[in-house]
Amino acid sequence: MIPLHRPIYQKKEQEYIKSAMEFKTGQTSFCALCENWLTDYMKIPGMMTTSCSTALDLAAALLHAKPGDEVIMPSFTFSSTANAFVRQGLVPVFVDARKDTMNLDEKKIEAAITKRTMAIVPVHYAGVACEMDMIQQIAEQYHLSIIEDAAQGLGAYYKGKPLGSFGEFSGVSFHETKNFSMGEGGALFVKDTQRFIEAEIMADCGTDRKKVRRKETLEYTWIEKGASCVPSDISCMFLYPQLYMADEITSNRLATWEFYHNELTDLAKQERIVLPIVPKECNHNGHIFAVRLQDKEERNAMMHYLNEKGIMAAYHYIPLHSAKAGRVYGRFHGEDEVTTSESERLLRLPLYYGITAEEREQVVEAIRAWCIKK
């Protein structure tokens, strides 16, 4: 079976696990090592969290918005993007996607802004950046915050700047399906120093325990509302060696992405499938390779064919505005010209670090066979 994702495990973890077991949660250790690496990479203070969902929860809480305030986001995204805000009583206002990248359509944002709009939440689908210049310009003009859902974006860039470094807050994910993984995990980045300290307290059960760890004070106490959002050192231990081989992981994934792109070009020319498009400002990270078929029926037919051959191709998000909770908690602004119809055509192919030449060849062969058969 060729899976859709395969987490990375290396020999190093066995060596690290002993030392990780000697540390306690969040003390010096691997958690701090990961945070140092991330902060250095992003040039913005970062903290490890138990997931990207948790990072977004913290960001949404730190917005200090009032119930009924609104945030603009794409509908073609994971539930966590919206959950974080809904849990604070905010209303997700879904805006249509761009047909090429499936990202928030920057040209449709302005019309969705109301007096209650607090923030724009760009989601960089497949590690391909949103049109950040225009999004930043709109945010400035209307005094809105940007909270970046860069769950899929680590290792990717927009005009040379890392994804996750644009927002006042941003989250990345280390879920097992992402490019860099620790099973479950994530990180939150916060531009403002004061807000970062607020986030640290909120993330550490509402206490200033981080200060004790930094030896700034001897005892810690309950300061504010908070939750338990700091991951264990054992999970950070799995991530740490991957960060140090980040370039190798990204280039390996990109090589597979390019392979699929080259091998499937003939089928695209014959208009049997549509290949992914990456705008020139974007250096992506090979997170997802998704083809598009004629319609939902064709997409499902190819998906089932590949699945039967032991190839785990998969569709992606059911748009949030048409989901049960999305209809209750959010609303779609404007026409859904792209989101639903394009999401129904989309099919992701297996892509992970270390996929073998035989495996990816098998994927391409199966797609060719299906196109001929049809």
Tokens representing 129 are 């950046």
Q: Which of 45, 74, 167, 186 binds ligand PLP (CB under 6 A)?
A: 186
202-216 residues labelled b (16+ CB within 10 A) or e (exposed): bbbbbbbbbbebeee
Q: Which of 77, 88, 285, 340 binds ligand PLP (CB under 6 A)?
A: 77
207 binds ligand PLP (CB under 6 A): no
Question: 261, 99 in Cβ contact below 8 A?
Answer: no
Q: Which of 123, 199, 234, 351 binds ligand PLP (CB under 6 A)?
A: 123
* CA 233 – CA 235 distance, rounded (Å): 5
* CA 311 – CA 303 distance, rounded (Å): 9
Distance separating the N- and C-terminal Cα atoms of the chain: 24
Which range touches ligand PLP (CB under 6 A), out of 74-82, 127-135, 253-261, 307-315?
74-82
Q: Which is nearer to ligand PLP, 226 or 231 (CB)?
A: 231
61 binds ligand PLP (CB under 6 A): no
* CA 28 – CA 44 distance, rounded (Å): 19
CB of 92 to ligand PLP, least distance (A): 13
Q: Which is nearer to ligand PLP, 26 or 171 (CB)?
A: 171
CB of 361 to ligand PLP, least distance (A): 28
CB of 358 to ligand PLP, least distance (A): 28
Amino acid in position 306: L
Burial of 157 (0-12, 13-18, 19+ CB in 10 A): middle
* CA 23 – CA 25 distance, rounded (Å): 7
283 binds ligand PLP (CB under 6 A): no
- Tell me which residue of 58, 81, 91 sits closest to 190, measured CA to CA: 58
Q: Which is nearer to ligand PLP, 180 or 332 (CB)?
A: 180
249 binds ligand PLP (CB under 6 A): no
| Range 125-184, binding ligand PLP (CB under 6 A) | 149, 151-152, 173, 175
> What values do phi and psi take at 193, rounded to 5?
-60, -45
CB of 59 to ligand PLP, least distance (A): 12
* Local structure of residue 163 (DSSP, 8 states): T
236 binds ligand PLP (CB under 6 A): no
103 binds ligand PLP (CB under 6 A): no
CB of 371 to ligand PLP, least distance (A): 29
Q: Which of 81, 232, 340, 343 binds ligand PLP (CB under 6 A)?
A: 81
* CA 315 – CA 308 distance, rounded (Å): 15
CB of 103 to ligand PLP, least distance (A): 11
Q: Which is nearer to ligand PLP, 77 or 117 (CB)?
A: 77
CB of 137 to ligand PLP, least distance (A): 23
Q: Which of 29, 53, 145, 256 binds ligand PLP (CB under 6 A)?
A: 53
* CA 13 – CA 239 distance, rounded (Å): 9
* CA 339 – CA 290 distance, rounded (Å): 15
Tokens representing 232 are 């264990």
* CA 153 – CA 157 distance, rounded (Å): 8
Dihedral sign for Cα 107, 108, 109, 113, please: positive
Q: With CB under 6 A as the rule, give the number of residues binding ligand PLP.
A: 14
Q: Which is nearer to ligand PLP, 78 or 196 (CB)?
A: 78
Kindly list the residues in this chain that would bind ligand PLP in the complex (CB under 6 A): 51-53, 77-78, 80-81, 123, 149, 151-152, 173, 175, 186
